[in-house]
Structure 1
Amino acid sequence: MSQQPVLLPYADPAFLADPFPLYRQLREEGPVRRAVIAGGLETWLVTRYEDGLAALSDPRLSSDVHDASDPRLLEQLPATERASLLSNMLRTDPPDHTRLRRLVSKAFTARRVAELRPRVQEITDRLLDDIVPAGRADLVADFALPLPVTVISELLGVPVADRHDFQGWTDDMILRRAEQPDPAVVDTAWQHMRTYLTGLLEAKRARPGDDLLSALITARDEEQRLDEDELIAMAFLLLAAGYITTVNLIGGGIAALLAHPGQMEMLRDDPALLPGAIEELLRYDGPVSPGIARFAREDVSIAGVAIPRGATVLIASAIADRDPGQFPDPDDLDITRQDNAHLAFGHGIHYCLGAPLARLEGQVAIGTVLRRLPGLALAVPPGELRWRPGGLRGPERLPVTFSSDGAN
C-alpha cells in the first residue's frame, strides 16, 4: 500500500472529543489504512465491519505480542518480569488461552452475573445516596469509577479500600497518551502491582474465601492448572479489565445521552429500553477506541490489502461500528436500534469474558441515574469535557447538576 501512515492526533483535544469525522474519512478511503496511533506505534487499521468481523476470528492474527515485529510493543511493558505480565488470557492464543479462560469462565456466565444484580443495585444506590443531597457531582469520580471497582473487588475478594492504589498503578501501565510511555514509570507501577498481588494471594492462601481469587489459588496449588506467573497475570487482568472499560461505558454512555436529550427522555420514560440502549451506546461510542490489536503470524491479505508478517493489525471496532454497510444511519444514536451486532466486545475466542457483567452494570447504573437524578444536565459546556487519549475512550470527568430530590 503506497499511502503514508495517517497520524491519529491524540494531542488534539478536538480529536479526543470527537474522533468520528476522521474515522469516517479513514473508512471511506479504504478498508485497510496504515496509521500511527498512541505511543507512536504504526498499525494497519481494519475500518469496515465485515472485514473486522472476519479478522477477529482469523487464526493468522495472533493476540501474542511476541508475534509482533515492532519492538516498541514489548518496550511499553515492564522491563522486569515482562513474560509473566503477558501470560494472561488476553495476550495468549490456544491452547494456553483455552485453558486459562476455562478457569474463570464460570464466574462470568449470564446466570452467575444475573445473580449479582441485587448487589450491583445496592452499591449503585449507596453511591447515589452520597451525591444526591448536593445536587451536583462528578459522575466519573463519584459514581462511574467506584461502582465497577467495588463490584470486581468483591467478586475477586480484593479489599475495596485498596482501590486507589491499584487504580493508580493500572493507569500508569495501561493508559496511553500521544507520546511514548516512560518505561521507568511503567516498570515501577508493575513492581508495586506485583508486590501487592503477591501479598494478597499469600493472605488468601492462609485464609481462603468464597471468591474468584481463592478458587484460582486452588487451581494453582492443588490442581496445577496454572503456574505462579499465570496466577499473578490472571489476577491483574481480572482486576484491571474488570473495571477500566466499564467506567468508560457508564461515563461515556451518560455523556452521550446528555448530548441527545430526546433519547435520554425516551429511556427515562421507558426503562424497558435499557438493554437495547446499552448495546447502542456501546456501538455508538464504546469504551475501546479505535479498536482491538492483533499481530500477523504470517503475510496476510485483508480486503485485498497485503499485510506483512509481524505487523500490528488494529481491528478498528469504533470505526467499523459506524459502517453504513452494516448499520443504517450509523452516526445517529438510536436506543431502539434493532440487529445491533456491534464489535465493542470483540468476536471469536477472545470475545470479552466480562461482557455480561459490563452490560449488567451499565443497565443498572444508567437506569438508576436517570431515575434518581431528575433534571440531569452537564455543569460545563460540552466543549469543556476532557476525554481520555489512546485506546480507552471515555470522559475523564463528568460534572453534572440535577435536582436533589433523589427519588428512590
Structure 2
Amino acid sequence: MTTIQRPDTLHRILDYASRADPYPLYAELRRTPVARQEDGSYVVSTYRELADLLHNPHVSSDVRNLAHPMPSMDADATPAFINMDPPEHDRLRRMAMRHFGPPHTPGLVDGLDPFLTATVGGLIDDCAEKERIDVVDDLAYPFPVTVICRLLGVPREDEPKFRGWVNDVIDSIDYNPAVDPKEKLERGRQARRDLREFLGGLVAERHGRPTDDLLSRLANDDGPDGRMTDDEIVATANLLLIAGHETTVNLITNGMLTMLRYPEVLRRLRDEPELAVPLVEELLRYEPPVHIIPWRAAYSDITVADTVIPKGSQIMLMLASGSRDPDRFRDPDRFDPDRRDNQHLGFGSGIHLCFGGPLARREAQIALTELVRRLDHPSLVADPPPYRRSPVLRGPIHLDVEQNGG
C-alpha cells in the first residue's frame, strides 16, 4: 500500500519560516510513517522505519543509484566514503578508523582533552570583558576548526587561510538561489578546490616522512586493507572537516540555547560536570545538529511499513523526527538529561554512523561545561535566535548571550 502525503507538511518543514521549531510538523509527518511525495520521492519519519532503513543493505548511499541522480558540488573530486556503499565504503572506513579511534588508536580523543580545554578556555578568555557574546562566532565556530587543524597537521601559519576556505564552503551549504548571489556558490566551489589542493600538498609532503598527525598516519600506513591513495586521503580529510565542523558547531550552539531555556539544567551542569556526558546524548536526541539525510537510493524494490519503495527512488530520512517519536521515547518533547535507553538517531546509525561522533561529543561536553562554569549569569538576547537556512544541518547562525544578568 502506498500513501501519498499532502506535500505541504514537508514543504513547510523545508521552508525557512519553520526553522526555529519544526517539531510540530514532524509530528504531522509521523502520522504517515512512509509517504510518497508528488515528485516520486519518499519521506520516512518514524523511529522504527528509520532504524530499519539505516541498517538495510538494499538502501544505497551512492548517488549513482538514484533513478534521477542529483548534481554534486564536488563532481570532479573523489567521493568520501560516506557517499559509497560496501565493499568500498567498508574498506575506506576501516582504514580511516585505524587512526581515528578504537581499537587501534583508543586514546586519540581522550588524549586531546587538555588541548580541547585550553582551546575553549582561550576563546572564553577573549570574551571576558564583553557584556554580550555570540556563542557561534566567539566559540562554537572557531573551536572545531582549531581542533581539526591540530588533528590533520595543518601548520599554524596556514590556519587563517584554511579557516577562510572552511568559511566559504560552509557558507555555500546554505546557498539559496532565490536570494543569494551566484558568487556565494562559486566561492564555495573554489574553496573546495583550494582545500583539496592544499590538503593534497600536505599529504605529498608526508610520504616517507611520518609525523604524528592524521594525514601522515594515513599516508604512511600499510594496514591489512593496504594504503589509501592520496585522493582518498584528501576526501577523508574533507569529510572529517566539513561534516564534522558544522555538526559540532550546531551541537554546541543548540546545547547552549537549550540550557538557557532550561536554567535548572544549566545550574546542574555547573555543579555536576559529570552530567555533561548524558546531557550531550540527550541534546543529540532533543536538538540534534543533523535533522535530515536528504537522500538515500533504493537498490531494488523494498517494502517499509507496508509501502513499496521502487528501485532507484529517492528516500529522505527525517532523523530528528525519529528521535522525537513517542512510540520509541517516553515524553519525547521534554528535555531530560537523565533519560535512560537513549538510542537516538543524532549521529545516524548502521554502517554510516558518524565516524567523528566521539570527537564531536567530547568537544561539546567540554565546551558546554566550560561555558556554564565561566559565563557570568548568561541570558538569551533573542529567543528564538536567527537560524541558518539549511533544514538539513539545523542550528542558529548567531546566538547572542548577555553576561552579568543582562
C-alpha contact (below 8 Å) 1:124/1:147 kept by paired residues: yes
Q: Does the CA contact (< 8 Å) of 2:293 and 2:316 recur in 1?
A: yes
Partner of 2:213: 211
Give 5+ residue unaligned stretches, structure 1: none
User: What do the CA deviations read for 1:167-221 (whole angstroms, capped 9, x no partner)?
Assistant: 1342255445486996755543432222222233234348542100011122489
Match of 1:131 in 2: 127
Asked if 1:162 is matched to 2:161, the reply is: yes
SS of 2:330's partner is coil
Letter in 1 for 2:249: V
Distance 1:389 1:342, change over 3 A: same
Aligned equivalents of 1:42, 1:256: Cα separation in 2: 36
Q: What are the superposed Cα offsets for residues 22-66 of structure 1, whole Å, 9 maximum, x if unpaired?
A: 1111112x1112458xxxx87422111111111111000011111
Counting helix residues as a fraction of each chain, which structure ranks higher? 1
**2:27 is paired with a residue of what secondary structure?**
helix
The residue number in structure 1 matching 2:97 is 105
Q: Give the whole-Å Cα distance in 2 for the aligned partners of 1:369 and 1:184.
A: 36
Aligned positions, number: 392
Task: Report the AA paired with residue 358 of structure 2.
Answer: P
Aligned to 2:253: 251
Contact 1:178 1:389 in 2 (8 A): no
- 1:306 maps to which residue? 308
Q: Residues 149 and 215 (structure 1 numbering): CA distance in 2 closer, same or farther, change over 3 Å?
A: same
Whether contact under 8 Å (1:292, 1:346) holds in the other structure is no
CA distance 1:97–1:398, change in 2 (3 Å): same
Residue aligned with 2:341, SS = coil
C-alpha contact (below 8 Å) 1:76/1:186 kept by paired residues: no
Q: Give the match for residue 143 of structure 2.
A: 147
Paired amino acid for 1:113: V
Identify the residue that residue 390 of structure 2 maps to in structure 1: 389
What is the deviation of 1:292? 6.0
Deviations 1:75-129 (A, max 9, x none): 13334x15x2x2x210111111111111121323353211211211111111111
Aligned partners of 2:282 and 2:339 also within 8 Å: yes
Tell me which amino acid in the other structure corresponds to 1:21.
P
- For 1:256-405, list aligned pairs within 5 A: 256-291=258-293, 293-379=295-381, 381-403=382-404
* Residue of structure 1 equivalent to 2:170: 171
Is the 8 Å Cα contact of residues 291 and 392 (structure 2) preserved in structure 1?
yes
Does the 8 Å contact 1:35/1:42 carry over to 2?
Answer: yes
Deviates more, 1:13-22 or 1:286-295: 286-295
Contact 2:208 2:220 in 1 (8 A): no
* Partner SS, residue 108 of structure 2: helix
User: In the alignment, is the contact (CA less than 8 A) between 2:145 and 2:163 conserved in 1?
Assistant: no
How far apart, CA to CA, are the structure 2 residues paired with 1:287 and 1:146? 17
SS at match of 2:398: coil
SS in 1 for 2:35: strand
* Shift in alpha-carbon separation, 1:10–1:339, aligned structure 2, 3 A: closer
- Alpha-carbon distance in structure 2 between the residues aligned to 1:117 and 1:366: 14
CA distance in 2, matches of 1:398, 1:301: 43
1:24 paired residue number: 27
Change (3 A) 1:376 1:201: same
Aligned to 2:53: 55
Shift of 1:262: 2.6
Report if the CA contact (8 A) 1:3-1:34 is conserved. yes
44-53 or 177-186, which deviates more: 177-186
CA drift at 1:150: 1.0
Contiguous gaps of at least 5 residues in structure 2: none
Q: Deviations over 1:331-384 (max 9, x none)?
A: 1111111111101111111111111111111110001101001301112x2134
Q: Identify if the C-alpha distance between structure 1 residues 261 and 385 changes in structure 2 by more than 3 Å, giving closer, same or farther.
A: farther
What is the RMSD computed on CA atoms of the aligned residues? 2.7
Q: Secondary structure at the match of 2:253?
A: helix
Q: Distance in 2 between matches of 1:13 and 1:216?
A: 40
Q: Please say if residues 67 and 310 of structure 1, whose CA atoms lie closer than 8 Å, have aligned partners that are also in contact.
A: yes
SS of 2:127 mapped into structure 1: helix
Q: Do the aligned partners of 2:59 and 2:298 also contact (CA within 8 Å) in 1?
A: yes
